[in-house]
Chain A
Amino acid sequence: EAGVAQSPRYKIIEKRQSVAFWCNPISGHATLYWYQQILGQGPKLLIQFQNNGVVDDSQLPKDRFSAERLKGVDSTLKIQPAKLEDSAVYLCASSSGGGTGYEQYFGPGTRLTVT
C-alpha cells in the first residue's frame, strides 16, 4: 500500500513570495491533516479535512495560509505572502477515520526555507 505522498520535498523562496504544497493521502483515507513543524519542536496542526470539508482550522493563519481538498482526495496548502517565520517542514498526514483516536500516517514532508 502506497504511503502519503508530498511534493515538492524542498522549496526555497524569498519573503513575500507565494508557495504551494501538494499532498496525496493513503488511498481510502477520508481524513487529511496539514502540520507545521518548526525546527526543534513537535508538529503543530494547521488544518484537518474530513473528505472535502474542514473539521478544524483554528490554528491556520488565515491571512496568509489557505488549504483546499476539492474532491476529497488530494490537498493543496498555500502560503501567500510568505514570511521568514514560515520556514519549517510542512507535513501531511492521513487517517482512516476522523475521530481523535485514529493513528495518523505521515508523508515525508516539504522543507520550506524563506529567505
Chain B
Amino acid sequence: AQKVTQAQTEISVVEKEDVTLDCVYETRDTTYYLFWYKQPPSGELVFLIRRNSFDEQNEISGRYSWNFQKSTSSFNFTITASQVVDSAVYFCALSGYSTLTFGKGTMLLVSP
C-alpha cells in the first residue's frame, strides 16, 4: 500500500516570508510519480508539479521550488517570498502502479 504524510496541518506566515511544506511518502513500487496540487478557497485543485522516481533533480519555477530526496522519501515544496495569493491548501500525492493517493493537505495562510 502507498501512503503520503503531510505532518503540517496548518502554517501561518507573514507576506514575503519563505515557507516549506513537508511531504513524506511510502511505497514499495520501484517506479512512481510524485505530485503537488494547490487547492485555493474556490475549491478547484490546480496541478503544480510532477516528478518521477528516477529524477531527483530539484526544480525551480518562479517563487516555487521542490526538493526530492529518495533517501528520506521526501518531496518538499518551498515558496519563496510568499504572497497573500499563495493562501490555499496544498496537497502532495503519489502514484505508483496503483492510482493516485493524496496526503491530508497543509493549509497555508499568508497574511499581509
Which A residues lie at the B interface, using CB under 8 A?
3, 40-45, 48, 56, 89, 91, 93, 100-101, 103-109, 111
Q: Which of B42-50, B57-65, B79-87 contacts A (4 or more CB under 8 A)?
A: B42-50
Give B4's nearest chain A residue, CB to CB. A42
List chain A residues, Cβ under 8 A from B42: 108
B95 & A91 in contact (Cβ 8 Å cutoff): no
A56 & B99 in contact (Cβ 8 Å cutoff): yes
**Cα of A111 to Cα of B43 in the assembled complex, Å:** 10
Rounded to whole Å, the gap between the CB of B1 and the closest CB of chain A is 12
Give B103's nearest chain A residue, CB to CB. A42
Partner of B45, one of A43, A45, A48, A111: A43
Partner of B47, one of A104, A108, A109, A111: A104
B32, B45, B91: which has the most chain A beta carbons within 10 Å? B45
**Cα of A41 to Cα of B91 in the assembled complex, Å:** 10
User: B98 in the interface, Cβ–Cβ < 8 Å?
Assistant: yes
Which B residues lie at the A interface, using CB under 8 A?
4, 32-33, 35, 37, 42-47, 50, 52, 91, 93, 95-100, 102-105
Contacts A42-B105, A43-B45, A56-B99 given; 6 further ones with Cβ under 8 A? Answer: A42-B4, A48-B99, A100-B97, A103-B35, A107-B44, A108-B42
A41 & B97 in contact (Cβ 8 Å cutoff): no
A-B contact pairs, 11 of them (CB 8 A): A42-B103, A42-B105, A43-B91, A100-B95, A100-B97, A100-B100, A101-B50, A101-B95, A106-B45, A106-B46, A111-B43
A105 & B47 in contact (Cβ 8 Å cutoff): yes
Rounded to whole Å, the gap between the CB of B96 and the closest CB of chain A is 7
List chain B residues, Cβ under 8 A from A89: 43
A43 & B102 in contact (Cβ 8 Å cutoff): yes
List chain A residues, Cβ under 8 A from B46: 106
Give B33's nearest chain A residue, CB to CB. A101
A42 & B50 in contact (Cβ 8 Å cutoff): no
List chain A residues, Cβ under 8 A from B44: 3, 106-109
B102 & A103 in contact (Cβ 8 Å cutoff): no
**Cα of A61 to Cα of B98 in the assembled complex, Å:** 19
